[in-house]
Amino acid sequence: MRQHARFVLLYLAASGCTASPAAGPPGGGGPMPPGEVGIVTLQTEDVTLQTELAGRTTASLASELRPQISGIVKARTFTEGAKVKAGQVLYEIDPAMYRATYAGATADLASAKATLEAAKLKNDRYAALSKIEGVSKQEADDARAAQELAVAGVAQKQAALESARINLDYTAIKAPITGRIGKSTVTAGALVTANQAEPLATIRALDPICVDLTESSEERLRLRAALGAGTLKAGTTKVKLLLGDGSTYAEEGTLEFAEVAVDEATGTVTLRAQFPNANDTLLPGMYVRAVLDQAVATKAILAPQQGVGRDAKGNPTAMVVGAGDQVELRQLAADRTVGSRWLVTSGLAAGDRLIVEGLNKIEPGMPVHATEVAAGGSGSSGSGSGSAGQ
C-alpha cells in the first residue's frame, strides 16, 4: 500500500514538470494581435477666438456741478439719486443782489443811449454849420468826437448789462447733461463761491454706459502680427459682459476704440466698450469681465482634450495612427482651449487619425486596429483659457 502511494506522488510530480505553458496566443508563441483604439480624424475649420479681459464700468458722461457766482443757496430742487434732464434747475442762489445789479446796468444803458442821442444831434448840427462857417472847424471836430465817445459808452453799458444778465441767470444752477444725480454736498442756507473746488453734486449719464478694459501690449502685438500674416482674420466689435456675481449681462455691447498709448506702469492698453443700460443695472465703478471676438482662425485644427497628453517635461503630446496602422508620437504646440478641445497650432494636420480611446494600452510603434468614434465637444467658439505649451 505504501509503495502504491509513493508511485502516485512520483507520477503527479513528473506530470507537473512536463505541463505545457498556459500563456501565449493560440497556435504557439506568435505575435500579439493589433490593439483596439478609438480615433478621431481631424479636419480643419474656422474658429472664433475669444479673449476675456478685466475692466471697470464708467459713466459715458459725467458733470460736476459748481457755482459760477457766489451767494447763499436759497433752495435745492432735486431728489438725490433721481434722474435729471439737461436744463433742469437743480439749485437756486439768492438772486436779490444780482437782480439789483441787473436793474442798475439797465438804467446805465438807458442813460448812455440818451447821451448818445444828444451827442448825435449836436454833431449833426455842427456839421451843417461848419459848411457855412457858422462854427469853427475845431468845434465841429469836438462834436463828432463826442458822438463817437457816446457810441462807445453805449457799447460798454450793453456789455455790463449782458454780464449782469448772465450772473442773474447763474443764480439758477441747471443740469448740463441728462443722467442720474448723486448726493448733494450743500443744503439750503449754505454759502457757495464761484468756481469752488468742491462740487455741489455730480451727474452721471448711465445709458449707455462705458466699460474700460485692459489688454497686455504684448498680446496685442501678437494678434496684430497674426492678422498681418494672414493666419487670422479680424473678429467682430461685439462684446459680452460677465458680471461680478458670475452672471452674463443681458445686453451685448460694442467695442468703440483702443487707446493710442501704452500705460508705462502696467504695460497694458486700454480698450473702451459701450453697453446699453436702460435699467441702470450697471453702475460706475463695477468690476466686470468682457468677452471679445478678437479674431477668427481659418483652417484651424481642434483636438479633443482626451487625445492630448503631457510628456515628462510637461509639453503637450498626442498619439496618432500613422503609416502601416502603427502608433506615432507627436509633439504639439497648443495655443488655447476652445470649448472641450485644444486649438493645435503645430504637430497635427487635417487627416491625422488622433487616438482618443485605448491610450493606456499602446505605445509608439505598436500596430493597432483603429475605429472612428464621435468627437467630443464643440469648437465653433471659445475663449482662450490657458496655454497648453509651445
| pLDDT score, position 323 | 87
Q: Which CATH number applies to 72-94+171-198: 2.40.50.100, 1.10.1740.110, 3.20.20.70, 3.10.450.30? A: 2.40.50.100
Q: Angle 96-131/137-169 helices, nearest 10 degrees?
A: 160
pLDDT > 70 in the chain, percent: 85
pLDDT > 90 in the chain, percent: 39
- How far is 309 from 359, CA to CA, in rounded Å? 10
Of 256, 264, 209, residue with least CA distance to 237: 256
| pLDDT score, position 231 | 59
- Mean pLDDT over residues 304-332, rounded? 88
Give the residue, 77 or 19, on which the prediction is more confident: 77
- Mean pLDDT over residues 237-250, rounded? 88
* Model confidence pTM above 0.85: no
Q: Are 89 and 198 in contact (CB under 8 A)?
A: no
Domain 95-170, what fold? Helix Hairpins (1.10.287)
| pLDDT score, position 134 | 81
Q: Are 255 and 210 in contact (CB under 8 A)?
A: no
Domain boundaries, the chain: 35-44+300-383, 51-60+207-297, 72-94+171-198, 95-170
Give the residue, 225 or 26, on which the prediction is more confident: 225
pLDDT band at 98 (very low <50, low <70, confident <90, very high): very high
Of 51, 7, 35, residue with least CA distance to 297: 51
Beta bridge partners of 72: 191
- How far is 223 from 228, CA to CA, in rounded Å? 9
Mean pLDDT of all residues in the chain? 83
pLDDT band at 225 (very low <50, low <70, confident <90, very high): confident
Phi, psi (deg, nearest 5) at residue 371: -125, 130
Q: Which pLDDT tens digit goes with each residue over 103-124?
A: 999 999 999 999 999 999 998 8
Question: Is-cis flag, bond preceding 208, omega within 30?
Answer: yes
Phi, psi (deg, nearest 5) at residue 49: -95, 115
CB atoms within 10 A of CB 111: 13
Least confident of 161-175, 192-206, 221-235, 253-267: 221-235
| pLDDT score, position 226 | 65
- How far is 57 from 256, CA to CA, in rounded Å? 14
Cell 469853427, located at residue: 136
| pLDDT score, position 9 | 39
Of 178, 219, 155, residue with least CA distance to 59: 178
Residue 216 scores a pLDDT above 90: no
206 burial type by CB count under 10 A (0-12 exposed, 13-18 middle, 19+ buried): buried
The structural architecture, per CATH, of the domain 35-44+300-383 is Beta Barrel (2.40)
| pLDDT score, position 13 | 39
| pLDDT score, position 30 | 52
User: In sequence order, what DSSP letters do the residues of 333-367 get, joined into one string?
Assistant: EEEEEETTEEEEEES--TT-EEEEE-GGG--TT-B
Of 215, 214, 217, 211, residue with least CA distance to 288: 211
Phi-psi region of 189 (alpha: psi -120 to 50; beta: other; left: phi over 0): left
- Mean pLDDT over residues 56-68, rounded? 94
User: In sequence order, what DSSP letters do the residues of 201-241 get, joined into one string?
Assistant: EEEEEEEEEEEEEEEEHHHHHHHHHHHHHTSEEE--SEEEE
| pLDDT score, position 65 | 95
- How far is 186 from 149, CA to CA, in rounded Å? 47
Q: Which CATH number applies to 51-60+207-297: 1.10.580.10, 2.40.440.10, 1.10.486.10, 2.40.30.170? A: 2.40.30.170
Q: Are 167 and 98 in contact (CB under 8 A)?
A: yes
Cell 492630448, located at residue: 308
Residue 74 scores a pLDDT above 90: yes
| pLDDT score, position 227 | 65
Residue 386 scores a pLDDT above 50: no
- How far is 223 from 212, CA to CA, in rounded Å? 20
- Mean pLDDT over residues 8-19, rounded? 39
| pLDDT score, position 301 | 83
Q: Angle at the Cα of 150 (from 145 to 152), degrees rounded to 5?
A: 95
Please write down the long-range contacts of 330-335, taking CB distance under 8 Å and 24 or more positions apart. 332/303, 332/308, 332/388, 332/389, 333/388, 333/389, 333/390, 334/303, 334/308, 334/387, 334/388, 334/389, 335/384, 335/387, 335/388
| pLDDT score, position 31 | 61
| pLDDT score, position 140 | 87
